[in-house]
Amino acid sequence: MIKVAILGVSGYGGSEVLRILNTHNDVTINHFGANTQAGIPISQSLGQFYGIFNNIMQQSDLVEIARESDCIITATPHKFLAEILTKEIVKQSVIIDLSADFRLKNPKKYEEYYHFTHPNPELLQDSVYGLCEINKSAITHANLIANPGCYPTCSTLCILPLLQRGIIEDSSIIIDAKSGVSGAGRSAKLENLFCEVHDNIKAYGLIKHRHVAEIEQNLGLFSQLQPHHSSSNKDYKDIHITFTPHLIPMNRGILVTAYANLSASYINITQADIDSVYEEFCENKIFVRHLKGGIAPQTRWVKGSNFVDISACLDSRNKRVIMMGAIDNLIKGAAGAAIQNLNLRFGFKESQALEDIALFP
């Protein structure tokens, strides 16, 4: 039994971490961290925990919590953890961070995309990127795990099978993505009010969305021919994508539709060939489901689950391919991935507490 502390438990991501861990037989929750809601019972803020977790949420002293915890899962705002985390804390407790603070290896990218100078570049280089399907071996030994973003998780997993094989031109990748409103977090914002999002769809974050840097890093780092390429940035390939996210009027879910030109040597590829590539990619990836024949994924079939559905459809007339993916942004895109990382790091069954299938309707 390990002791796990959750920081940011009152937010969407943190509360999902708590909900999932409630069914984990090898975990006990020893700290419920919050900021603006500190001092009130968690069940007062989140009614789904009434009679299950009535613990008082507290502001957190990270040094003290690290002494008392085997693992700290942080669902905190960007920049928060980067400013207070130290090597000593990381030595004492495994950190799984849901923010972007330790995802990008190039600290200058934080200035470009997050508009702050990274205060902890040394720890940034020590962090391990926590996309389990690609970086499993490194995760099992890591004490600082950077949980992937939601858009990057879905985009990376649906594009990488063809990119690793050189089947598509990396300079031609265009990603059209759509997300439910929970991706913006639980804090009150004018643009996220019901009347602002209901009966409407809009593009946002054009050209410079924060997740562009993370997606490009993933595709550059992991697009080698070797399926289990290291997370080291020594062989980083410079890839540039066009990424346009959209906000849609639903609570949760991400749908990615990506486009790329076929490489010259693969213009005669068949749909069956593409399916074979995806089938091989999905081997031993228990939460990645390939929909054969270019069937389009749907968010309703992954809602509330840790699964990601991916597929690709050949556009032979235009010598292009359409790559698609769907995830629940709060589960596989956040909390579920964090628990998957925890399971790998502590030697539990990878799917423990994550085996629920999608909620429907």
- Helices within 209-354 (DSSP H only): 211-222, 271-282, 336-345
CA 246/CA 251 separation, integer angstroms: 13
CA distance 168 to 173: 8
The alpha-helical segments, DSSP class H, found in the chain are: 12-21, 42-45, 62-68, 80-84, 87-92, 108-113, 121-126, 132-139, 150-164, 194-197, 211-222, 271-282, 336-345
Residue pair 259/174 in contact (Cβ under 8 Å)? The answer is: yes
Can you give the length of the chain in residues?
361
Tell me the C-alpha distance between 241 and 5, whole Å: 37
Measure the CA–CA gap between 174 and 296, rounded to whole angstroms: 17
CA-based radius of gyration for the chain = 20
Torsion of CA 79, 187, 339, 346, to 10 degrees: 40
Cα–Cα distance for residue pair 344/135, rounded to 1 Å: 11
Catalytic residue (choose from 71, 132, 150, 154): 150
Q: Taking each helix axis from N to C terminus, what angle separates 271-282 and 150-164, rounded to the nearest 10 degrees?
A: 120
Told to judge if 150 belongs to the known catalytic residues of this protein, a careful annotator would answer yes
Q: What DSSP assignment string belongs to 159-227?
A: HHHHHHTT-B-GGG-EEEEEE-GGGG-SS--GGGSHHHHTT--EE-STTT-THHHHHHHHHHHH-SSST
* Distance in angstroms (rounded) separating the CA atoms of residues 245 and 231: 26
Identify whether 361 is preceded by a cis peptide bond (ω within 30 of 0). Answer: yes
Give the Cα separation of 96 and 131 in Å (integer): 12
Look at residue 145 and give its three-state secondary structure: strand
Torsion sign (Cα): 20, 22, 24, 27: positive
The catalytic residue positions are 150
